[in-house]
Amino acid sequence: MRHLLAIDDLGTDGIDDVLRLTDSFVEVSERSIPKVPALRGKTVVSLFYEDSTRTRLSFETAAKRLSADTMTFSVSTSSTKKGESLRDTVETIEAMGVDAIVIRHGSAGAPWNVARWGSSAVINAGDGWHEHPTQALLDSYTIRQHRGSLEGKRIAIVGDIKHSRVARSNIAAFTLQGAEVTLVAPRTLLPPNTDGWPVAISNDLDATLAKVDIVYLLRMQLERMTDALVPSLREYTARFGLTRRRADALGDDVLIMHPGPMNRGVEIAAEVADLPNAVIVDQVRNGVAVRMAVLYLLLGAGTEWGAEAVGTATSTGGDRG
């Protein structure tokens, strides 16, 4: 694997490879000194043209735990403000000597252009409404951690599907692993054409919740809405929010997931996000180990010292605290 741009780059076997390797990096992350030398001498740059807390910090943490050097690009203090193009920015950064570019951009397809222009490994950290593959990997890992596998699991993805790259990557990842996915949303928050999507579609949340194993809530992306797509947020919450009443009607074994950031009180009631069966913090925690696995597969696999570092981590427990 040279780049990670979309879930289909991985396929079922690739997803399995990443998630198996993630187990080793979860173990590394639990050590008193959570660090291995696998990517010593490599440089990873975060090139984020959109805001992020989880993805950016977890990629930077993952790179540091693998002993890579990191560079952070901040749009607000960069020459982008003087009109420098994405291509010139990428070529400038590459001239300094980088091995991987982690890019988030508001335009769908931008990571594919970066992969074409440069020689670094490119990881898509979210492009427009299109894909967010590492989110789907960490979500898949979290479901496997709590439920063993995704095979045959019934998963409802609820909310703003239209604007959601998380939904697109998760539909691909979940169905490749054998889950049955139902999208629940008002017509205005679905893409105009879902022909060929391997999903069922409903606008009745209560009926869907009665027969799911996992409910995955999406953030209302108010910043991407140019039209009034719902009559009001209060009405949206009444029909499509995971309210306390709806959460109480779910079995305790139904996982509640959300990619973050949450609008507490809109798509999920404030207290529902903190229930024992809500695994939102686990999703964030697993994000670091999953991103370590992705960086390792792109930059470290095949190097003798890299294999040794991970081998040591799994076989001896290394310097466990």
User: Does 261 participate in binding ligand CP (rule CB under 6 A)?
Assistant: yes
Give the residue carrying structure tokens 């890299």: 306
Please tell me the count of residues contacting ligand CP according to CB under 6 A.
Answer: 9
Is residue 12 annotated as a catalytic residue, yes or no? no
Q: Which of 24, 29, 43, 55 binds ligand CP (CB under 6 A)?
A: 55
Is 135 among the residues that bind ligand CP (CB under 6 A)? yes
Interface with ligand CP, residue 231, by CB under 6 A? no
Report d(CA 34, CA 62) in Å as an integer: 10
Q: Which of 52, 78, 80, 303 contacts ligand CP by CB under 6 A?
A: 52
Is there binding between residue 221 and ligand CP (CB under 6 A)?
A: no
Q: Which is nearer to ligand CP, 43 or 55 (CB)?
A: 55
Q: Which stretch binds ligand CP (CB under 6 A): 48-56, 76-84, 113-121, 141-149?
A: 48-56
Q: Output 55 or 142, the one with its CB closest to ligand CP.
A: 55
Toward ligand CP, which CB reaches closer, 55 or 120? 55
Residue 75 in the binding site for ligand CP (CB under 6 A):
no
| Residues 74/274, Cβ–Cβ less than 8 Å | no
Instruction: Point out the catalytic residue in the list 42, 130, 132, 162.
Output: 132
Choose the binding region for ligand CP from 47-55, 142-150, 170-178, 198-206 (rule: CB under 6 A): 47-55
Name the one range near ligand CP by CB under 6 A: 19-27, 32-40, 240-248, 255-263: 255-263
CA proximity to 181, closest of 159, 152, 203, 207: 152
Whether 132 sits among the annotated catalytic residues: the reply is: yes
| Residue 54 bears catalytic tag | yes
Query: Interface residues with ligand CP (CB under 6 A)?
Result: 52-55, 126, 135, 259-261
User: Which residues are catalytic, by number?
Assistant: 54-55, 82, 104, 132
